[in-house]
Amino acid sequence: MAARVFDRRERLVLLLITVVELVVFLDTTVLNVALPAIGADLGLDEAGLGWVTNAYLLAFGGFMLLGGRAADLLGPRRVFTGGLIVFTAASALAGFAESAALLIAARALQGVGAAVLIPAQLALLTASFTAQAARNRAFGVWSAMGAAGAAIGTAVGGPLTDAFGWPSIFLVNIPVGLVALAGVRLLPPDTARAGEGVRRLDVPGALTGTTALLLIGYAIGALGDADTRGLAAGLLVLGLALLTVFVVVEAHSPHPLMPLRLFAIRQVSGSAVVNALVGAAHVPTFALLALYLQNTQDYSPTRSGLAVLPVAAVNILASRTLIPYLMDRLGPARVLAIGLALQAVAMGWFARLPTHADYPIDVLPGAILLGIGLPAAFVGVTAPAVTSVDSADAGIAAGIVNTAQRVGSGLGVTALLLLADLIAARTTTSPDTAYRTGLTTAFATAAALAALGVLLTVVLLRTRGAVPGGAVLGRSKRSAGSADATTAATPSTGTAGATPASGTASPAADGTTTKAPSSGAAMSDANTRSSGLAATTAATTAADDPVSTAAD
């Protein structure tokens, strides 16, 4: 009989942390099948629906680096508690929202809560599980729960919407949040002084950068309406100006969230740009597919959610078989290019969707290709960046690359749903045909973005010869192709746990071990950021790629 890995308290701590994580990542996908119902109830067109998704994604990505920094400096238990309160309150606001504006604002607030919750969870896991076997298993469970949340979001969102209406997809978070708050006392206490940590937080950088992205995203959506075009142009200028301020702030900050010097490294900037395209192409695709199935094929939300489950099933299978094989023989950059190429073909397949679709012929092949292409891209996109910098910068490099995907996802949703709306309005055919034409044009644009990603991968991330995936990622060959393989390390927290010394083994998300990017026992400024940065990597992977970690 196998020895018990966790004691009773550890089991309760792990249950608390991973259930909250499940809910956070479920909220990244549960909304897709409810979009048509929300649009009908609140009078939102496709561009407006994009913002219901976009507000969460941009806030999640924009504040995640700050959340990781806060977990290190203020203490992960404090940050976890604060994030949980914000996320739960925002879920209540979203569930009771009677206007589009309130719903979008609540979704943005949810994103802020999620952005600080995820880094704090990783820091708490590091502090709570000190035995190597227990820590390895805990990180495997954590990663699997994130993957499960993203995978089942569309499946549970449909039945909830059908049975109780779209508000229920947000209201189910409330009891989970309240129970979790009651269990916070089980978590290890913080050792950091909050007052000292606040002074080292780059709040100006986080606020200017995220506000700039929100303004630019809103301006893109509003440019399509003649009545708001003037306002949109002004907001676009303001957003670009704030982006300039963000660059200045980061250049002069003693503790920048995003060190600009790293962008001079081709692999870092190239991986960030390509990952932004990955997000801009694939995240809108799921929203577009839900709109197509429900609004043109009369699928119920439940049936619509089940229709995209093959993506997750193939994703898991490919990640355990094909992708490790390719990573070992081709290296991450080539696997990334293959993944993006498969995504481009899948989205191109959806661009030919007819007025009356036959699911096995018109939808399923694209879903299968997408199921292979997504994990291939996720595995390959971060490795070029983290292996091109010093070990102390590996965490921040991974954070930059994966934050880029969140930003790309948000802007992509806004732009492609707006495009679908504009094309439909300008197509002089029957309303049904015009609506379908708008959606298929958006699918074609997503395919073009993925194809551009292939080109940029070849140009910016080119490598000489095939590099074994395990060697590149610092992982065993068995797990080199798993989607969480890009996680640089377990977070090195300066507040709640021991910092791994350089060269020591720390658990990766699937329970294997990898070299920690710490530069020694002494905590450098770059190293104290690694809680949020490893979290950013693992969080993005788990949210977008329900793959091999679930199988572990």
278, 279, 301, 276: which is closest to 291 by C-alpha?
301
551 against 214, higher pLDDT: 214
Terminal-to-terminal C-alpha distance of the chain = 20
pLDDT in tens, 293-336: 999 999 998 899 889 889 888 887 887 788 888 888 888 899 99
Quick one: pLDDT at residue 109? 95
**Residue entry with tokens 């932004």:** 276
Asked, for residue 418, whether it belongs to a domain, the answer is yes
pLDDT in tens, 246-261: 999 989 888 787 888 8
Give the range of the structural domain holding residue 360, as residue numbers without chain letter: 10-202+253-551
Take residue 505 and report the two structure tokens written for it: 């083994």
pLDDT in tens, 366-384: 999 999 998 889 888 877 8
Least confident range from 42-51, 142-151, 221-230: namely 142-151
pLDDT at residue 524 greater than cutoff 50? no
Asked, for residue 2, whether it belongs to a domain, the answer is no
Provide the pLDDT confidence category of residue 550 given band limits of 50, 70 and 90.
very low
pLDDT at residue 172 greater than cutoff 70? yes
For residue 459, the tally of other CB atoms under 10 A from its CB is: 11
Asked, for residue 245, whether it belongs to a domain, the answer is no
pLDDT in tens, 455-500: 999 999 875 544 444 433 333 333 333 333 333 333 333 333 333 3
Asked, for residue 361, whether it belongs to a domain, the answer is yes
Return all residues near 278 (Cβ < 8 A) that are at least 6 apart. 340, 343, 377, 378, 381, 405, 408, 450, 453
**Is residue 505 within a helix (H) or strand (E), and if so which, with residue range?**
strand 505-507
Take residue 376 and report the two structure tokens written for it: 């291939």
CATH at residue 120: 1.20.1250.20
Percentage of the chain beyond pLDDT 90 is 34
pLDDT in tens, 435-465: 999 999 999 999 999 999 999 999 998 755 4
Quick one: pLDDT at residue 148? 64
Quick one: pLDDT at residue 213? 80
Return all residues near 55 (Cβ < 8 A) that are at least 6 apart. 104, 105, 107, 108, 111, 214, 410
Asked, for residue 237, whether it belongs to a domain, the answer is no
pLDDT at residue 531 greater than cutoff 60? no
Quick one: pLDDT at residue 466? 42
Provide the pLDDT confidence category of residue 540 given band limits of 50, 70 and 90.
very low
Mean pLDDT (the chain, rounded): 78
**What's the rounded Cα separation, in Å, for the pair 96 and 262?**
43
Quick one: pLDDT at residue 486? 34
pLDDT in tens, 355-366: 899 999 999 999
Provide the pLDDT confidence category of residue 513 given band limits of 50, 70 and 90.
very low
Asked, for residue 257, whether it belongs to a domain, the answer is yes
Asked, for residue 232, whether it belongs to a domain, the answer is no
pLDDT in tens, 67-122: 877 887 788 899 999 999 999 999 999 999 999 999 999 999 999 999 888 888 87
Asked, for residue 343, whether it belongs to a domain, the answer is yes
CA 498 to each of CA 131, 150, 492: distance values in angstroms, whole numbers, following the listed order? 12, 31, 7
Quick one: pLDDT at residue 294? 92
**What's the rounded Cα separation, in Å, for the pair 447 and 332?**
21
pLDDT in tens, 397-441: 777 887 888 889 888 988 898 899 899 988 888 888 999 999 999
Find the helix packing angle between 266-295 and 431-460, rounded to 10°: 160
Mean pLDDT computed over 278-285: 92
Number of structural domains (the chain) is: 1
Percentage of the chain beyond pLDDT 70 is 78
